[in-house]
Amino acid sequence: MVTFPNCKINLGLHITVKRPDGFHELETVFYPVPLKDILEVVSSTTLQFQSTGIDIPGNPASNLCLKAYHLLKEDFPQLPPVQMHLHKIIPMGAGLGGGSADGAFALQLLNDKYFLGLSPTQLMKYALQLGSDCPFFILNQPCYATGRGEDLTPIKLDLSGYRFVIVHPGIHINTKWAFEQIQPGLPARSIKEIIQLPIQDWKYYLSNDFESPIKQNYPAIEAIKLALYKDGAIYASMSGSGSTVFGIYPTNANIELNKQLNYRIDII
């Protein structure tokens, strides 16, 4: 059985509170975007995992797809050994949630393939054990997110009439460092309210708290954002803690960004 984990972008991101446990409260809107990995699971005599496409650093045993399998195996001992093949297309460490998507989609695929009977609510509880972003990919629809990103409220937001341009400059931004640059605080206006404005107004009000400190240390981020606007984007922003920058364009836009930037560019 094959599934296609998609990525997400953050439409606005505010860090509101630093909690006593060291984690941060945030508010953002997660929006699913059809830039996808490919995950295949087949029954096997032994548990195996392999990956192709973009190289995945680190120990394969720590991959969220395998962690998803082990989570379910604890409660469903009848789950047979499987062979997992992940073809990685979504850039990693880029603010797109690709690893979280892979883990969440693995849960769903195993649930469907082996008739475990888990509801979306139950799958979301398993997904939260994999990471704060993972439950979103069970719902996989536009959501206003608070808490650490796990408190999700679906919202009405349809951007299907637009095109997305995703630019990944290949810069690795340490997430811990990025959070250390932020002074948490309640925004004057909630993202939940701002997102209801016409998309043409988002560039004036919809912001990502990480952008300011990150562009000071990584000028390429600001350069990409300016290039997107110059190229005709209606709205452009960094996603998450970076380093991906995305632009939202009219459907009929003549996108020529690849003539200006020597980075990986996905047009969707």
The CATH code of the domain that includes 181 is: 3.30.70.890
21 included as an active-site residue:
no
Task: Out of 154, 180, 215, pick the residue that ends a domain.
Answer: 154
Are residue 143 and residue 233 in the same domain, yes or no?
A: no
Domain total of the chain: 2
Are residue 78 and residue 130 in the same domain, yes or no?
A: yes
Quote the domain boundaries for residue 194.
Answer: 162-267
Give the pLDDT band (50/70/90) at residue 66. very high
Catalytic residue among 36, 37, 67, 133: 133
pTM of the model: 0.95
Query: What does the pLDDT read at residue 239?
Result: 97
How does strand 82-88 pair with strand 48-53?
parallel
- Residue located via tokens 């087949």: 42
Residue 16 has pLDDT above 80, yes or no: yes
> 19: domain CATH number?
3.30.230.10
Are residue 142 and residue 170 in the same domain, yes or no?
A: no
Query: What does the pLDDT read at residue 168?
Result: 95
Are residue 134 and residue 227 in the same domain, yes or no?
A: no
CA-wise closest residue to 103 among 150, 75, 62, 143: 62
pLDDT digits (tens, 9 = 90+) for 173-217: 888 898 888 889 888 899 999 999 999 999 999 999 999 999 999
Query: What does the pLDDT read at residue 259?
Result: 74
pLDDT digits (tens, 9 = 90+) for 20-48: 887 889 999 999 999 999 999 999 999 99
pLDDT digits (tens, 9 = 90+) for 78-88: 999 999 999 99
Catalytic residue among 8, 88, 215, 225: 8
203 included as an active-site residue:
no
Are residue 110 and residue 181 in the same domain, yes or no?
A: no
Are residue 11 and residue 118 in the same domain, yes or no?
A: yes
Sequence-ordered list of residues with C-beta below 8 angstroms from that of 81, at least 6 positions apart, any chain: 43, 44, 45, 46, 47, 48
